[in-house]
Amino acid sequence: MPLKEIAIRYCTEVSETARRINSANTLYRLGNEWNATSTDCLAFANLLEVSTDSKVAIIGGGGTARAAAGALNTKVAEIDVLLRSPDRLVAMAEAAPDVLLTRLEMSANLDSYDLIIQSTPANAFDAHIQNLKSAQGVLVECLYKPWPTALVNRYTELGGRVISGRDLLVEQALFQIEIFSAQTFDFDSMRTQLLAHISKD
């Protein structure tokens, strides 16, 4: 989302993470100054369980993809990035400077990955889902509407585990609530309440 990049220009203080991934989804005022950070990156860091040798693929190269890459910086050794435009690999590399990034075509085989993060718009990856023949890890589908996506259906049919866009939305909201309220609270309890509330929709 371009606004996440534009917002950084108008803030006095920008967190190191937001500057590195060139994306800020959270603006908050302290005194007379506007501050910017990325709770998307914090959410990914909380949700993703990886080791240095985990095989990771990110589909897409926008702000959400950069947040995911930024969260994985120093946690994994390599990330494969499926991109339509090779130009976006530069910004992805800046988001995760300690990780070796390799650009792959959108049609690349994803069967052997421990973690797949899908960050492209709705239907953008649908043409390639039939290439998926095995699901041995975790898929993070950053979309939450429409739900389930064709990729989610395919991945679950093959026996893989899915983290939904709603999970990501709620996780980043927990950090936003903490920032906006300047209060500490039990994330597990608040997460349960938020997920229960949005599941009514």
| pLDDT number for residue 201 | 64
Q: Are 151 and 118 in contact (CB under 8 A)?
A: yes
Say what the pTM is.
Answer: 0.94
Q: What parts of the chain have a pLDDT lower than 70?
A: 1, 201
| pLDDT number for residue 9 | 92
Domains, the chain: 42-165 (3.40.50.720)
For the chain, list the strands marked E by DSSP.
Answer: 13-14, 26-30, 33-37, 56-59, 78-82, 100-104, 115-118, 138-141, 161-163
| pLDDT number for residue 2 | 72
| pLDDT number for residue 3 | 86
| pLDDT number for residue 1 | 57
